[in-house]
Structure 1
């Protein structure tokens, strides 16, 4: 079975989503190359899952990068650089570039499994700043090369993503600014700004699907910034949010079950590389505990099946990108009869929303999966 663990979240307490703070979206719309990402129908996947409809938000290209991560990185960098310069947050990208003239010699630092670090490096290049990105050993070479291609210095860290996070924190200085999408005691503002940046996804969805947002939402979870943003935007009576994690890195499932942050030790070796995190962000965890109805931890077999299933609908999603659909597949396989009703959905064949958070970023792995090898 593909379902490794399941948690029906009895702690859930979130009500109606809060009105969005649109400053991040306005900032993104001022950036060169901004365009809303597409929403696609996935009828083959819907039929396989016993759904009336599956809508997929395609975060496979943002500002020339193959994932959604630039949304969070750019807004967090905007806020952090504005604060460093002692001015109000830049309202536009051009204003941010003018602020950066005062910050010559600054290097941006991030730990990553791939996409966040590349987004930080990309922003640094656009703004004329340096970038130093730390990646865990065993990161796919294609991902390392893509980060280096942005002009960043790439450090290979012996150990896991969490080890890379720890080393990156130690680099903070007057001329090194850490831009992390996860938090730790004493470091909470920047990860909060990352989550604010992801709100642009959901503001676009509200415009693209006015009055049609599905009652079932599957959201992948790494450290939790995207899931936190999803809760803030989508929590509503009658809507069920399902969080999806790799079986060997289900740090949020374990944290919600325990009522406190729990370190899930590595190695974390799932093909869902962007979700290979052993410790949830302390900033994001309260939102997830309050707003996600169920958590599922899945194995890679479900992810491979989801990648191939989405290809049948003409949607090319990377392994992490397909994780939301993979979670729905694992739940359906585990409980084929009346699964969606067991999640307290009134409709036995509901409509669902998933977010494809990345295009393929490890070509050899994707080719193997697509071929069914």
Structure 2
């Protein structure tokens, strides 16, 4: 594959370098392991999220289709994160408690909490994690659903309103004096000193990589839904391009694997062009691609707080290095203007979700031909976050 394209959009220069279920879920057969997709569909709050067609935008940019996967309401939360969080929470807790995750009786509300109490672990066993916002809410929701105590560490710059949303899902919130990476370190320290606590995070590092595979697996549900919806809208044509927020890399890893997979090519579908987008405050993928090795960057506050991660997951980095075709960096105003544009189009997106539209406008204005964006292109924007309050940049 050719070297990825890196774009700093502000300079516009390119460089190549839940409700309770009414009945109990069925018990799965030992010969049919539970998949993330089946798991999600067995949860009582599962619904398909929409893929919205934006024909006016497609016509303006001279593209065949611009389609937006709208994750503004997923399992009752305003972000896609719960897809990875729910499956990871379930698998990790089942593994720690040594119960069979294929036994879908464990999917009943409170079922894992019953096991905790029966083992005499109540008040001792808990799940601990860290977040910039949406992952923590999702983990709190799953903790409440399964009846397992959950503690979420958050960076000091997180606004009180977001902390309250996490508490509102039933989680305890611990504020760390520092940024996201400092909160990660705090969780690691607690997990080391408190062996009863189970660390469940959506970032991998040396010695902590097994959990990340469940996070990535969980996001496959969104991608499978999207493929089916794209085919329905386009009359059978697949996506040719997809734009995905990066953050610590989990959803970008899942997306890259999906659109570059051998399975896709065996089905007669060409690999799609994958474009990653990051905020100027935390462009760790761009820096890593330019360096040739994964590097950490110091972050600053951003309205795109869910993407404001200065370190890539160790499992995500090799996938992104090999598979991402272009990395785009967008500024605060560009994200805000994309939020406003999507709101006018009837899509209630937040800054992270709207960043994909900002990235599309940048690539169409600068290197459209190089990325093969033309009148035959089917572009999927992954809008990963619903509308929320933020300080409007100036």
Deviation at 1:7, TM superposition (A): 5.3
Partner of 2:386: 359
232-241 or 145-154, which moves further after superposition? Answer: 232-241
* Number of residue pairs matched by the alignment: 350
Please show how residues 103-252 of structure 1 align to structure 2 within 5 Å.
103-104=116-117, 105=122, 106-172=125-191, 173-210=194-231, 211-235=236-260, 237=270, 239-252=272-285
CA distance in 1, matches of 2:190, 2:181: 15
245-254 or 207-216, which moves further after superposition? Answer: 207-216
For residues 274-294 of structure 1, what are the alpha-carbon distances to aligned partners after superposition, in whole Å with 9 as ceiling and x for unaligned? Answer: 000011000111111111111
CA distance in 2, matches of 1:289, 1:91: 37
Partner of 1:265: 298
Partner of 1:42: 54
Shift of the 192–219 alpha-carbon distance from structure 1 to 2, 3 Å rule, reads same
> Which structure ranks higher in relative contact order (CA pairs < 8 Å, sequence separation ≥ 6)?
1
Partner SS for 1:64: coil
State yes or no: 1:253 paired with 2:253. Answer: no
151-160 or 72-81, which moves further after superposition? Answer: 151-160
Gaps of 5+ in 1: 10-20
CA distance in 2, matches of 1:249, 1:356: 19
Shift of the 323–34 alpha-carbon distance from structure 1 to 2, 3 Å rule, reads same
Partner SS for 2:274: strand
Partner of 1:17: none
Instruction: Tell me if the contact between 2:338 and 2:355 (Cα under 8 Å) persists in the aligned partners.
Output: yes
For residues 255-313 of structure 1, what are the alpha-carbon distances to aligned partners after superposition, in whole Å with 9 as ceiling and x for unaligned? Answer: 122222201013x2121110000110001111111111111111112111211111221
Instruction: Tell me if the contact between 1:44 and 1:313 (Cα under 8 Å) persists in the aligned partners.
Output: no
State yes or no: 1:70 paired with 2:103. Answer: no
Deviation at 1:62, TM superposition (A): 1.2
- Alignment RMSD, CA only? 2.2
Partner SS for 2:203: coil
State yes or no: 1:342 paired with 2:355. Answer: no
Partner SS for 1:209: helix
Instruction: Tell me if the contact between 1:53 and 1:352 (Cα under 8 Å) persists in the aligned partners.
Output: yes
Instruction: Tell me if the contact between 2:130 and 2:183 (Cα under 8 Å) persists in the aligned partners.
Output: yes
Shift of the 91–52 alpha-carbon distance from structure 1 to 2, 3 Å rule, reads farther
Partner SS for 2:351: coil
